[in-house]
Structure 1
Amino acid sequence: MSDDVQHQPAAPADNEGAPSRPSGGSVVGKKNRKPLLIGLAVAVVVIAAAVLLYDIFIGSRSVSTDNAYVGGESAEVTPLTAGQVVEVLVTDTQPVRRGQILFRLDDKDQRISLAQAQAQVEYATRRYGQSLANNNALGAAADASAAQISSAQAKQASAQATLERAQEDYRRRAALAEGGAVSGEELTSARQALASARAAAQEAAAAVVQARANTNSARRQEEAAVALTRGTSNQTAPEILLAKAQLANAKLAMERTVVRAPIDGVIARRSIQVGQKVEAGTVAMMIVPVGQLYVDANFKEDQLGKVRSGQTAIVTSDFYGDDVKYHGRVVGFSGGTGAAFSLIPAQNATGNWIKVVQRLPVRIELDPRELKQHPLRIGLSMEAEIDLTSKD
């Protein structure tokens, strides 16, 4: 029994036959992580260097922003005379050309005013002709008055001769009456003839004075009438010019009942309907000049140090994507930032002031040919990049 126990093999130990672990495992793990850290550091340095080089050699050559929008000088269509809308020939989104009829107003009142103005021109022309005829008539009357002076003077001379003859006859008869050769009756008759001749002479003298006064009055009337027409014709007379001006005004009011497009573009915000009564100056619609649009790019203030008018720019639209590029040119800068022109400007004079980088609108003019190929609309979002190396 003891021999069997003695020759029985011993049980293997718990760790016998298991793979052995090399000593110092933690040191080996640290050695494997070290190259990774070094590679990561090198990558960071390389990326930083690449960014720095890009900023120096490429990024500093241009500035860009995606805070840009399409703008345009829209035209407001307003009737210049009041009236009822009788016809509207366009609608929103419709392209129009300059001079194209947009709508018409009722022109009955204007037609009546035009007819009155035409009649007034004819009346003024006839009145001017009448004034010329009156001038001739007044001249003839003045000449007739002048002729009456001569007649009155001849009568005065005759009356003066009669007076002298009557005076001589009276003196002779008075001398004879002292010797009794002439009767008292003859002397009385001679005295009466002398008084009558003297009265006739005075009357003839007064007639000469009256004729001269009539002539002077006729000449003054002629001069006053001629003064209104002197140096004029039926084309330059003031009353005719006034009537023609009123006629031109009536024609203009008539033309204004037909409202035409002031520019080329697309109709927007039409607000009138047939039958509506509109007043002069009422905005009936707007026209957007899609062929003359621009971009207002809002750059940060720290981007504008090297931006100058005349520099070229590349502009892309979210509407068409990066495949369509517009070539523009910087034409100017806004007079202030957007915050300065806001309804309630920011007030920074407080104790809790925080500096905020401001943006300044920069106007970029677009190429009309490119706009014609790829039309834009006001308000569309754009991305703008200005080439700082281009010449002003």
Structure 2
Amino acid sequence: MNAPVTPSSSPNPRRKKAMTAVSAVLALSAVAWGVHYFMFGRHVEQTDNAYVQANVVQITPQVGGTVLAIGADDTDLVKAGQVLVKLDPADARVALDQAEAQLAQTVREVRTLYANNETLKAQMQTREADVAKASNEVERAQDDVNRRKPLLSTGAVGQEEFNHAVAQLNTTKTALAAAKSGLAAAQEQLSSNRALTDGTTVTAHPNVARAAAKVREAYLALQRVALPAPVDGYVAKRSVQVGQRVQAGTPLMALVTLQQPWVDANFKESQLQRIRIGQPATLTADVYGEKVEFHGKVEGLGAGTGAAFALLPAQNATGNWIKVVQRVPVRIALDAAEVKAHPLRVGLSMEVAVDVSKQDGAVLSDTVRKGHALETDVFAQQQRDADALVKRIISSNLGHQASVGA
């Protein structure tokens, strides 16, 4: 009978070598990871909860009207000043014509006020002359009475003649009183008219200023029937249609300014301890993958968590409370040249890694912005044109009294 075969007690040399190799690789990997973490990893905060943001400008009319034309559609690139929507200008044109006519009429009426000053002044001078004349007549009549009165007792002057002299004196006194009343009335009329003109000119008169404001208002309303693009951007969310009746403030479309987007990286509150303004960041977008790398820097940290500004903020003071780690948006400014080479869109997902090795930056911004973060001068010319129209109307209606309004 054959004896049973027992396995060799010595291990398999090939298996031993393989296990040794695997152990060595794992050990080297652990060492390499440890070195990498010590040298780099511990100085980086990462998140994939990050999205591209940009200024989204709502296009809304400042006046109501019926849409006659639409100058741009979704995805179109438009330049600042380009007309996007045109409304029916008929009502605005009528209102402007009425305002222009009223301003012209007001200028002429105010000119009349200034002209009346000279007329009333001349009338007052005439009344003063009448008073002086009536005073002379009273003095002459009084002299006649004074000369005849002593002669009445001697018979040199008859009673009838004396009575006639007295009657003449009374008549001149009545005429003097009437002349003085006329002078007082003329003075009051001149004072009343001067109250409407003193301290101002035709062009600066309150009536003219009020009518001029109406012209500016009507002119701007006419200009606003054409809605220009306030900034360069791409059209999105166009909802307006031709023939639609729109009211002031109705959103018609949006302009997205993709020339200088930024990234809102939502870091956990436990990651914010070492994040500072000015720290460099490396980003990748899902749309391009890891082959395209963006660079930026931390521009600011949010003033609160996303939940705090939610439409329905969390009510944590409840009995069945469960702690949820909160996130705070960190604004990452991107390199403009890289964005131009590889355009981004609003809402795209990003992966962000912030180098937190430098801790000399501020946690929150401690400087006040100087200047404007975003501005447009598209509408400035409208106001200048309105002022020029008002000046032209006033000048054309001043006539030969243009010097009065100087």
Q: Distance in 2 between matches of 1:337 and 1:269?
A: 28
TM-score, normalised to structure 2's length?
0.81
Q: Could you tell me which of 239, 244, 252 is aligned with 1:276? A: 244
Question: C-alpha displacement at 1:199, in angstroms?
Answer: 2.6
Taking every aligned residue pair, what percent have the same amino acid on both sides? 40
2:33 aligns to what?
Answer: 51
Equivalent position of 2:131 in the other structure: 149
For structure 1, which segment, 32-41 or 160-169, has the greater mean C-alpha deviation from structure 2 after superposition? 32-41
Q: What is the TM-score when the length of structure 1 is the normalising length?
A: 0.84
**CA deviations over 1:231-250 (Å, ceiling 9, x no partner):** 33332222222221111111
Match of 1:328 among 286, 296, 300: 296
| Aligned CA distance change for structure 1 residues 354 and 216 (closer, same or farther; 3 Å) | closer
- Matches of 1:217 and 1:269 in 2, distance apart? 71
Give 1:329-344 correspondences, 5 Å limit. Answer: 329-344=297-312
User: Which segments of 5 or more consecutive residues in structure 2 lack a partner in the other structure?
Assistant: 362-406
1:172 aligns with 2:189: no
Aligned match of 1:134 = 116
Inter-partner Cα distance in structure 1 for 2:96 and 2:355: 60
Give the aligned residue type for 1:388.
V
Q: Secondary structure at the match of 1:293?
A: strand
Please tell me whether residue 232 in structure 1 is matched to residue 200 in structure 2: yes
| Change beyond 3 A, Cα 1:207–1:354 | closer
Letter in 2 for 1:322: E
Change (3 A) 1:70 1:147: same
Q: Give the match for residue 90 of structure 2.
A: 108
For 2:191 and 2:357, how far apart are their aligned partners in 1? Answer: 80
- Kindly report which structure 2 residues correspond to 1:163-202, keeping only aligned pairs within 5 A, or say none: 163-173=145-155, 190-202=158-170
> Could you report, residue by residue, the CA deviation over 1:33-74 in whole angstroms, capped at 9, with x for unpaired residues?
888777666655444333332221110122221111111120
Rg larger for: 1
Output the CA distance in 1 between the equivalents of 2:120 and 2:22.
118
CA distance in 2, matches of 1:351, 1:43: 52
* Paired amino acid for 1:382: M
The alpha-carbon deviation at position 198 of structure 1 amounts to 1.9
One-letter amino acid of the structure 2 residue matched with residue 74 of structure 1: V
Tell me: CA distance 1:348–1:41, structure 2 relative to 1, closer, same or farther (3 Å): farther
Range with bigger deviation, 349-358 or 380-389: 349-358
Structure 1 residues 32 and 118, CA gap change in structure 2 (3 angstroms):
closer
Q: What corresponds to 1:11 in structure 2?
A: none
For the residue of structure 2 that corresponds to 1:159, the secondary structure is helix
Cα–Cα, structure 1 residues 69 and 124, in superposed 2: closer, same or farther, change >3 Å? same
Q: For this pair of structures, how many residues does the alignment match?
A: 360
Distance 2:301 2:320 in 1: 31
- C-alpha deviation, 1:92, in angstroms: 0.4
Partner Cα distance (1:56, 1:338) in 2: 32
1:255 alignment partner in structure 2: 223
Give the aligned residue type for 2:232. Answer: D
2:61 to 63, 69, 79: 79
